[in-house]
């Protein structure tokens, strides 16, 4: 097993923020110079919906920039990145940076400012650090294990909402997905329309999750995102006093493709009890319970 002191964790965060902010500048200037164009359809993701199958040059550029920056400082650390995921082995005990260079590529290509970079760090397969940076709205969410959760350095807390009738819910709308996935999505929308206070679909999973941590929304769920969409946000919500579960109601599993986050345990359980799910192939077979 690896050991990481509180001081080392602070140092990791300090080091990480340099390339994360540089990536924020890369993303902002790509949007303002309108170089945010789609270069490829990830055909293997087609059935999952349009938002899962878009790719731009900037996704690749930002991931390379982040990995190069971190590898230079931490040569013995490992990396799982969305755009280089095919190279990766199963998550082990070594410090591992789990990276989504651009979460919300669909928003990015439409010049919508809800676009973020998400970076989580696991040590001994536990999340110890998470950063979600949304450069165009000037919000940087962060958390360290047992160190609390922050937005731009100010402490954040979940709203504490308990009742669905008071909850602002967030879910992704499966535009362009398989018929089966759209039908499941429609059933979930229906329950929320009948029972919640509000429903929003901002797009990037890492930001959606962070907003529950920040008390800017009360519940979010998905069964079709990846470890790089969830790693940082899960720690942010936990450190902000929220509830993080697997979609079955069990312990959160980073490799299951599913997550439920909520402002209270009661609301999280209600979400687990109503959502219909489409089984999705896991990121890796071995479960990882990182919280």
Cα 11-245-285 angle, rounded to 5 deg:
80
**Judged by CB under 6 A, which stretch of 31-39, 136-144, 197-205, 209-217 contacts ligand IPD?**
197-205
Kind of pairing between the strands at 168-170 and 154-155: unpaired
| 63 lies in the site for Ca ion, by CB under 5 A | no
Strand (E) or helix (H) holding 98: strand 96-103
| 172 lies in the site for ligand IPD, by CB under 6 A | yes
Cβ atoms within 10 Å of 41's Cβ, excluding its own = 12
State the binding partner of 239 from Ca ion, ligand IPD, none, CB within 5 to 8 A by kind: none
State the binding partner of 204 from ligand IPD, Ca ion, none, CB within 5 to 8 A by kind: ligand IPD
Instruction: Considering the complex, state which of residue 104 and residue 215 has its C-beta at the smaller distance from ligand IPD.
Output: 104
d(C-alpha 208, C-alpha 224), whole Å: 14
d(C-alpha 7, C-alpha 21), whole Å: 21
Structure token pair of residue 9? 């964790």
The interface mask with ligand IPD, positions 91-130, x = CB under 6 A, is ---------x--xxx-------------------------
State the binding partner of 258 from Ca ion, ligand IPD, none, CB within 5 to 8 A by kind: none
Smallest separation (angstroms) from ligand IPD to the CB of 104: 5
| 83 lies in the site for ligand IPD, by CB under 6 A | no
Cβ atoms within 10 Å of 256's Cβ, excluding its own = 22
Backbone φ, ψ for residue 151 (5° rounding): -125, 120
| 100 lies in the site for Ca ion, by CB under 5 A | yes
Q: The tokens 């402490």 sit on which residue?
A: 155
Smallest separation (angstroms) from ligand IPD to the CB of 184: 13
**Judged by CB under 6 A, which stretch of 13-21, 44-52, 238-246, 276-284 contacts ligand IPD?**
44-52
| 170 lies in the site for ligand IPD, by CB under 6 A | no
d(C-alpha 247, C-alpha 220), whole Å: 11
Site residues (CB under 5 A) for Ca ion, limited to 113-172: none
Among 229, 246, 270, 283, binds ligand IPD (CB under 6 A): 229
d(C-alpha 278, C-alpha 49), whole Å: 13
Q: Can you say whether residue 241 is alpha, beta or left, with left for phi > 0 and alpha for psi between -120 and 50 degrees?
A: left
> Any bridge partners for residue 210, and if so which?
none
| Interface positions with Ca ion (CB under 5 A) | 82, 100, 102
Give the footprint of ligand IPD on this chain (CB under 6 A): 48, 51-52, 82, 100, 103-105, 172, 203-205, 224-225, 229
């Amino acid at each position: 097993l690896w050991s990481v002191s509180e001081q080392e964790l602070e140092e990791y965060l300090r080091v990480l923020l340099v390339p994360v902010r540089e990536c924020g500048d890369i993303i902002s200037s790509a949007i303002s110079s309108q170089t945010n164009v789609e270069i490829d359809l990830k055909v293997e993701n087609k059935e999952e919906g349009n938002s899962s199958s878009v790719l731009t040059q900037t996704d690749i550029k930002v991931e390379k920039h982040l990995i190069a920056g971190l590898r230079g400082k931490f040569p013995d650390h490992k990396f799982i990145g969305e755009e280089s995921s095919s190279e990766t082995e199963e998550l082990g005990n070594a410090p591992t940076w789990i990276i989504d260079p651009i979460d919300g590529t669909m928003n990015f290509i439409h010049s919508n400012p809800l676009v973020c970079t998400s970076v989580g760090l696991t040590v001994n397969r536990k999340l110890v650090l998470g950063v979600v940076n949304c450069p165009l709205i000037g919000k940087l969410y962060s958390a360290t294990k047992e160190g609390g959760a922050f937005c731009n350095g100010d402490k954040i807390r979940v709203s504490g909402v308990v009742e669905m009738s008071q909850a602002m819910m967030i879910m992704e709308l499966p535009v362009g997905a398989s018929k089966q996935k759209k039908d499941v999505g429609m059933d979930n929308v229906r329950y929320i329309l009948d029972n919640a206070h509000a429903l929003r679909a901002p797009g990037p999973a890492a930001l959606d999750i962070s907003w529950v941590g920040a008390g800017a929304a009360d519940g979010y769920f998905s069964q079709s995102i990846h470890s790089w969409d969830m790693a940082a946000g899960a720690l942010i919500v936990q450190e902000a006093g929220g509830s993080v579960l697997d979609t079955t109601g069990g312990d959160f599993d980073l490799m299951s493709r599913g997550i439920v986050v909520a402002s209270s345990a009661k609301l999280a359980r209600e979400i687990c009890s109503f959502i219909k799910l489409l089984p999705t192939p896991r990121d890796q077979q071995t479960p990882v319970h990182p919280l």
